[in-house]
Each structure stands twice: as structure tokens, then as C-alpha cells.
């Protein structure tokens, strides 16, 4: 989509999921004020409070004062970062949205470059990390490996080394809203949508304050969600391996019969039997798990629960506290 003509001021909405980020807010608000001053566009901010328990939402309201362009929607509990981003896109009313971290790891000046690329005609502008400060070797290495694996495994043309920091234009937001997945893997879905996608490269700084809300366990879950939501290959591989093993066991049977009746050197050892029992037992459990995880996804989809529940929404502007109030939990 081409942005509005110069006569109508373009409106860019920042979507910032926050989960117990009270420590970073002073830094964030300072940077946001500078950023909004520096841009010709109207910049609004939509915080998605993902069930914070440290008073993050109250602190945001306090700091927003009477600025009508700062809004907060609060979830009834923690639903996770990916769902918070999804909610932000559901509620966004701007001509383009930029998803960013609260902790200033996604610097506003890079967001400015994204807006420029959008104005030049791009529909999706993603931030490609050239370097990541304050991130350990193991995390950097596994992440790089994962993005490459994801791409070749799922066949989705997803950019490498790219998180959720990206700008999406109005048509992309509308298309995204029509994807009903219960466990959205946002970066994968946006790549899948297509449109005109461009990169801006940047060095990702460390957190300005507080601690990461993405421990290893969550990172791992996100990685599995990404793969399982874009590929049924693990199931197919399980089938192929099963076939291969069956074919192999037929050969084994022939060999056993030969040793007994032709060579007459019958097997005395049980080691090989025990080994086979454990090996195939393990394989069966593993692939039952693979199948089970797909079944769980199907079950989640079938239940058709809303992806999140909004407890309250707030803005200090003329719309008052009923912004976005709607009977439908999936958005206004
Ligand atoms: N976040 C969230 N819900 C969660 C976990 C994280 O809304 O369950 C927010 C968090 O407050 C931050 C962003 O998502 O603004 C990214 O999280 P974080 O910075 O901790 O992840 P990292 O940058 O370390 O990967
Ligand atoms: Mg972060």
C-alpha cells in the first residue's frame, strides 16, 4: 500500500508488548518522546500488557499523562509474547504498525528507517540483526542455526536472523487478522503472507534494564511452534523411518533363518535382542510424541477459544477508557 499523500498525515502505530517491564519504562518513554518529536508522521503507541504483576500498566498510565496517542490494553493474565503481538495488530488502527520490544533492544532510530522504507513502497520492513550485543555464544549460535533450518525445512521464505521487530502496512495487518491460528508464530506468518518485504540491518543492543522474559524453555517452545505450524514433515519422516526399519527387519529375518537352517550357527546372545527392544521402544515413544504434539495443536484449534482475553483497555484521549471495548475478544 502506498502511504497517505502528504496532505493527510501518515499514522504509524508502535506496538509494544510488555511483561513486567516497570524498570525499562523511564528509558523507553524518554526515547519515545525523542522519536515522536523527530518524525513528521503521527506516531501513536499501543502497549499490550501481557499480564504484568509489577504495576507496569499503572506506571504507563501515569507516565502517559494526558497524551491521547498512548494506549494500553491489559490481558487478564500472561498469554505470551506472540499472542500479545497478535493482539496489538488486532487493535491497531494506524496506516502501518511497528512491533518492538519495550527494552529498547529494537532502537527507535531503526524504526525510523523502517518508516522511510515503507514510505518508499515496502509493505513489510523487518529488522535484520547483524550483531547481537549481550547475547551469549550458545544462544546466538542456536538461533542462527535455527533460522537456517526453519527455512530449508518448512520452505517458507523467512528472512534469516530476524526477530519480531518489523513494520507492517495496513494491508498486511488486515491479511494477518484473517489468520486464525491459536499459537501464532508471528514472524513465520508474516513471511508466509508475502507482500513486498524489505530489510533494514542493525546491530541489536542489549537490554536497557530488567531481565529477559524469554528463558531457554520458552525459546525452545517458540522454535517448536514455528516448525510445527509450518510443516508436517516430522510426521512424514516418522513414516519413512518406520518403513525403512520394517524393510530392514525383513532382511534381518532372512539372515536369522539362514544362520539357523543353512549355516547352523544359531544365535545364542540376547544382547542384540535387548538392544533392538530398547532402540525401537525409544523410537516408538519419540514418534508417538511427535504425533501427539500435532494432535495437541489440532485439539487447540478445534476448541476455538479466543487467543487472549482483554481485562481492560485504557487511553487518556477523548475516547476515554472505553477504547476498543468490544464484545468480541479478538478485536474491535
Ligand atoms: N513479553 C511479553 N510477554 C511474555 C514475554 C515477553 O509481552 O510472556 C515482552 C517483553 O516485555 C518484551 C518483549 O516481549 O517487551 C520481548 O521480550 P524480551 O525482551 O524479554 O525477549 P528477548 O529480547 O530477550 O528475546
Ligand atoms: Mg528484549
Distance 261 CA to ligand 1 centre (A): 67
Q: Which residue's alpha carbon is nearest to atom 25 within ligand 1?
A: 214
Residue 186 dihedral angles phi and psi, to the nearest 5°? -55, -50
Angle at the Cα of 270 from the Cα atoms of 268 and 273, rounded to 5 degrees: 125
Which of these, 61, 74, 32, lies nearest to 315 by C-alpha position?
61
Residue-wise pLDDT for 202-224, tens only, equals 988 888 888 888 888 888 888 88
Taking only Cα atoms into account, the Rg of the chain, rounded to an integer number of angstroms, comes to 25
Distance 103 CA to ligand 2 centre (A): 5
Residue-wise pLDDT for 236-258, tens only, equals 787 778 778 877 877 877 877 78
Query: Which of 214, 222, 225, 310 for mutating ligand 1's site (highest number of atoms within 8 Å of CB)?
Result: 214
- Mean pLDDT is lowest, of 185-199, 213-227, 268-282, for 268-282
Band the pLDDT of 263: cuts 50, 70, 90: confident
Residue 129 dihedral angles phi and psi, to the nearest 5°? -80, 115
Distance, in Å, from the CA atom of 284 to the CA atom of 238, rounded to the nearest integer, reads 9
Distance, in Å, from the CA atom of 96 to the CA atom of 208, rounded to the nearest integer, reads 26
Residue-wise pLDDT for 122-161, tens only, equals 999 999 988 888 778 888 888 888 888 888 888 888 888 8
Query: Which of 19, 28, 29, 204 for mutating ligand 1's site (highest number of atoms within 8 Å of CB)?
Result: 19
Distance 67 CA to ligand 1 centre (A): 25
> Roughly what angle, to the nearest 10 degrees, separates helices 81-91 and 186-193?
50
Close Cβ partners of 58 (under 8 Å, ≥ 6 residues apart): none
Which cell goes with 84?
Answer: 500479545
Q: Cβ(87)–Cβ(51) under 8 Å?
A: no
Q: Cβ(3)–Cβ(10) under 8 Å?
A: yes
Q: Which residue's alpha carbon is nearest to atom 16 within ligand 1?
A: 101
What is the C-alpha end-to-end distance of the chain, expressed in Å? Answer: 22
Residues with CB under 6 A from ligand 1: 17-19, 21, 50, 78, 80-81, 84, 101-103, 105, 212-214
Percent of the chain with pLDDT over 90: 44
Amino acid at each position: 500500500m502506498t502511504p497517505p499523500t502528504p496532505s493527510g498525515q501518515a499514522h504509524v502505530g508502535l506496538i509494544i508488548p510488555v511483561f513486567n517491564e516497570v524498570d525499562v519504562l523511564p528509558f523507553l518513554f524518554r526515547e519515545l518522546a525523542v522519536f515522536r518529536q523527530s518524525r513528521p508522521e503521527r506516531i501513536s503507541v499501543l502497549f499490550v500488557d501481557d499480564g504484568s504483576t509489577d504495576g507496569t500498566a499503572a506506571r504507563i498510565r501515569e507516565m502517559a499523562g494526558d497524551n491521547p496517542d498512548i494506549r494500553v490494553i491489559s490481558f487478564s493474565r500472561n498469554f505470551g509474547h506472540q499472542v500479545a503481538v497478535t493482539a496489538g495488530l488486532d487493535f491497531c488502527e494506524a496506516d502501518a504498525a511497528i512491533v518492538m520490544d519495550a527494552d529498547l533492544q529494537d532502537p527507535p532510530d531503526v524504526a525510523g528507517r523502517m518508516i522511510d522504507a515503507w514510505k518508499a513502497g515496502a509493505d513489510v520492513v523487518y529488522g535484520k540483526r547483524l550483531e547481537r550485543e549481550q547475547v551469549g555464544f550458545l544462544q546466538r549460535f542456536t538461533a542462527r542455526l535455527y533460522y537456517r533450518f526453519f527455512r530449508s525445512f518448512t520452505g517458507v521464505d523467512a528472512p534469516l536472523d530476524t526477530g519480531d521487530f518489523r513494520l507492517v502496512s495496513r494491508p498486511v495487518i488486515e491479511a494477518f487478522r484473517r489468520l486464525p491460528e491459536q499459537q501464532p508464530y508471528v514472524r513465520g506468518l508474516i513471511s508466509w503472507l508475502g507482500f513486498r518485504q524489505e530489510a533494514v540491518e542493525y546491530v541489536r543492543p542489549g537490554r536497557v534494564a530488567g531481565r529477559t522474559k524469554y528463558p531457554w524453555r520458552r525459546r525452545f517452545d517458540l522454535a517448536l511452534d514455528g516448525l510445527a505450524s509450518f510443516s508436517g514433515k516430522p510426521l512424514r519422516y516418522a513414516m519413512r523411518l518406520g518403513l525403512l526399519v520394517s524393510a530392514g527387519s525383513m532382511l534381518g529375518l532372512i539372515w536369522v533363518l539362514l544362520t539357523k537352517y543353512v549355516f547352523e550357527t544359531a544365535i545364542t546372545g540376547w544382547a542384540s535382542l535387548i538392544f533392538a527392544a530398547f532402540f525401537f521402544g525409544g523410537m516408538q515413544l519419540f514418534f508417538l510424541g511427535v504425533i501427539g504434539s500435532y494432535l495437541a495443536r489440532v485439539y487447540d484449534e478445534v476448541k476455538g477459544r479466543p487467543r487472549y482475553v482483554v481485562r481492560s483497555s485504557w487511553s487518556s484521549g477523548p475516547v476515554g477508557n472505553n477504547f476498543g471495548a468490544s464484545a468480541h475478544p479478538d478485536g474491535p
